[in-house]
Structure 1
C-alpha cells in the first residue's frame, strides 16, 4: 500500500479544520457534536479520529487557525513604517481590514474568547495569540518611537507598552462590536482606531 505523504495529511487536516470551523460558527463549540462535524467533513469517524483524536483538539486547532489568519500577515510585515510612509495608524487599520475581510475568522475569535472564560486550554491559546499581538507591536514600534517621535529609549519603551495595550483594546473592541452591535459602522470604527493610534 503506498505511503500517504505529509503534504496530503496536512491538506486533509486543513479540510477537517475548515469543516469543523463551519460547524462551530453555526452551533458554537458546545453545540457542534462530533456527529455533526463528521457529517460535515464527509469522512468516516475512523478517518477523522485518525487526524484529531478528540473534539477538544479540533476546537483548539480551529481557534489557532482563526487567530493565525488575522495575525500572521501582520507578523510578516516589515519593521516600522511601511514603504509608503504609513506608521502605527495604518498598521492598525490593516489589522482591522483583515478582520473585516474575514468575518468567519472574526466570529471564531469571539467564540474562542467566550469559551476561554471557562476552558483553560482555550484560554491558553487565546492568551498566547493576544500576547503575540502585544509583542509584535512592541517589536515593530519600539525603535520607530525613537526615530519618528524623537523619544529617548526609556520613554519609547513606556510609549510602546501603552500603545500595545491600546491596540489590544482596539482589536478586542472591533471583534465584539462588529459581531454583536446592531448597525456597527466599520468605517467609523476605523477612523476611531486611526485617531487613537496616531496619538
Structure 2
C-alpha cells in the first residue's frame, strides 16, 4: 500500500476545511450538516470522517484555522519594517482577514459573524476565540509601543488600553461590510490615519 505523504494529508485536510468554510459562511454552523460539507467537498463520507470525526470537531477546526490566520497576520504586521502607520496596519490586517474568509473569489466574510454567534453558545469556540483575540490585542499593543518608541504616538497613552479600540476597528469593518456593502480597505485605513492625527 503506497505511503500517504504529509503534503497529501495537508491538501486533503485543506479541501475539507475550505468546503466547510463555504458551507458555514452561507448557512451558519447550526443549519449546515456534515452531508452539506461532504457534497461541497466532493469527497466520500469515509474520507471526510477520517479527518474530522464530528461536526463539532470540524467547526472548531474551521474557527481555529480562520482566527489563527488572522492572529498570524496581526503578528506579522506588528513586526513590519519600516513601521506602518496605525491605519495602514489595520488595513493590512483587514486585507489578510478578507483573504482568510474568501475562497475562489467568493466572499465568505459572513463566517466572522457566525463565529461570534457560535462563541456565545459554544464554550470550546468561545475559549478558542478569546485566546486568539487576546493574542491579537497583545500584538496591537506591541504595535502601539513601537509607535511610541518612534515618537508617532504619545508616550502618555496606555498601549494595552489603546489596543482595545484598535482591535474593534477590525470586526467593525466586517460588520459594516456585511450590512452596508463592500468598502475599500485603503480608504478605511486612510480615514483611521486621519482621525488619529487630528
Structure 1 position 3, deviation (Å): 1.9
Deviation per CA, 1:50-101, whole angstroms, max 9, x where unpaired?
1001111111111122223333233224636x42x63222211222333455
1:69 aligns with 2:69: yes
SS at match of 1:43: coil
| TM-score between the two structures when normalised by the length of structure 1 | 0.82
Q: 1:151 to 1:189 in 2, by over 3 A?
A: closer
Distance (whole Å) between structure 1 residues aligned to residue 65 and residue 197 of structure 2: 30
Unaligned runs of 5+ in 1: none
CA shift in 2, pair 1:100/1:194, >3 Å: farther
Contact 1:67 1:105 in 2 (8 A): no
TM-aligned CA deviation for residue 148 of structure 1: 1.6
1:166 counterpart residue number: 165
Partner residue in 1 for 2:88: 90
Cα distance change on mapping 1:54 and 1:87 into 2, 3 Å: same
* In 2, Cα distance between equivalents of 1:2 and 1:64: 31
SS, match of residue 140 in structure 1: helix
Paired residues for 1:39-50 under 5 Å:
39-50=39-50
CA contact (8 A) 2:88 2:189 kept: no
**Counterpart of 1:86 in 2: which secondary structure?**
coil
Q: What TM-score results when the alignment is normalised by the length of structure 2? A: 0.83
Q: Does 2:127 align with 1:124?
A: yes
Closer, same or farther in 2 for the Cα pair 1:105/1:22, shift >3 Å? closer
**Distance across 2 between alignment mates of 1:35 and 1:194:** 46
Point out where structure 2 has 5 or more consecutive residues left out of the alignment. Answer: none
**Aligned partner of residue 2 in structure 1, secondary structure:** coil
Deviation sequence 1:36-55 (CA, Å, 0-9, x none): 11111222212111100111
Distance 1:11 1:169, change over 3 A: same
- 1:26 deviates by 1.7
Tell me how far 1:112 sits from its aligned partner. 0.3
1:105, CA displacement in angstroms? Answer: 5.2
For these two proteins, the number of residue pairs brought into alignment is 192
Q: Deviations over 1:12-57 (max 9, x none)?
A: 1111000111111221111110111111122221211110011111
